[in-house]
Structure 1
Amino acid sequence: KLDDSTDEDLLKLAKNEIIRTLNLEEYEIKDTIMNDLLENGRQSLSKYQEDLLPDIYAAAIKEKNGRLMKSLKNYLEQQWKVKYGSSNQWFIKFLDEYKNTVNYNSVLNRTAEYGTKYLKDCPILSIVLRLLFEGIDDKCLNERNAFDDLWYTITNSGLKSIENFSNYMNENVMLELKNTKQSVLTQALREYYRPKLFELLKKSQIPNNDNLYDLALNNVTEYGWLQGLEAVQNKIIPKYFKLLLANIPQGKHDLLECLVYLFL
């Protein structure tokens, strides 16, 4: 893990560069604008036209790769590595591998423009998905809701469901994901499922005997909630298993199947 003080220093420097770019050092509103920028991206600046010098505002809004966008992207890169990668070295390595690709810059630009809009409730998974599925471009995001569909599917049905979106991914990348046991997507999905699954197991009064939690995590990551939990059903007392099924986040397609099971 990187040194905490170094982490904070890097983020602070990147944040101060954004403040300098907008010439906000002496103004109290700088914190409000900064928080909005980091949460909602450059497009949120339109709310602060009256608070910025006209030439600085015009440049910030109009320039595709001007000082503000460069500063925002620099901050985001530091944030990705510090906030999400400091305890996940595989994620930092993955970012470095993709850094010089066209899609990396597209994802970075999109995040700088719209902030956390596409980060969902697990930024590390969102970033990995958007980098891997390079075919989901701005048009797909805005007109077809392709990323929402991908997110909904993979967070309900696990790794196996990515084949439904193969047309958005490079064929070689898809093959590598299928043939690599601990692929970046597998690890990112584990980051998504782990806290939710472990909380549900505890809530359902299921003890972590014989590494049950990790076994369940492996299966849920691969096959999604319902099939993944069914794979460990024999290791759970029936009444607690039914309680677990009643508590899991359900996709519309799984809900009927789950309800049928509960009433058997």
Structure 2
Amino acid sequence: MTDLAAVKAALRTQAVETPSWAYGNSGTRFKVFAQAGVPRTPWEKVDDAAQVHAVTGVAPTVALHIPWDEVDDYAALARHAEDRGLRLGAINSNTFQDDDYRLGSICHPDAAVRRKAVGHLLECVDIMDATGSNDLKLWFADGTNYPGQDDIRGRQDRLGEGLAEVYERLGEGQRMLLEYKLFEPAFYTTDVPDWGTAYAHCLKLGPKARVVVDTGHHAPGTNIEFIVATLLREERLGGFDFNSRFYADDDLMVGAADPFQLFR
């Protein structure tokens, strides 16, 4: 693209969705550092997101995380966002904090735990209906820590079955966004460790299922641009998590150590 006016027009259409949890206290994995003025409720997180959009002009939506952003009336929260010039974006599920999920959630060998996990994902779709959100964002901490701890193929079967049930619940214009992470947090096998695994499940599910690329979660030397190009070509790119990595995990903002990364 050599037409400067066309480049500028394309950039004007770009928007960045900020995550609600980015407005809370943060720190390292060893300690969360408290700050003054941090939002106490989802309503206050939306207020902060509105301020970011007012200053930047490129952040018109804010993603929610359930149960971190649970409220009694999601439609009212959506109206609150609209009153401040925002929309509620992707609904992020959480199947990694409960003790029941120690051996996995949607891939767990116990059918009762899998039922609990899928029930939560279906609840997230209900929340999408109430907020007008289009995207269900899924990341699973499922995996095994030792060889022989569980049946690797069986876990993929359970993953596919659970995703299929949730996929069928999606409404018109709604999408399922499946994120992968290379090695977080399982030590032996992670059930969705790479873009190929996520892509394979999305292909089987149907056109509403897309892959999320976390720019900070690949093996050293991986050409992330190639992955993005391939998913674009197949019309299966669902979005990005803009993280960066320096040693291992995605603990940096994208471009913090490699400023050229975001451009690429």
TM-score (normalizing by structure 1): 0.27
TM-score (normalizing by structure 2): 0.27
Larger Rg: 1
As a proportion of its length, which structure holds more helix?
1
As a proportion of its length, which structure holds more strand?
2
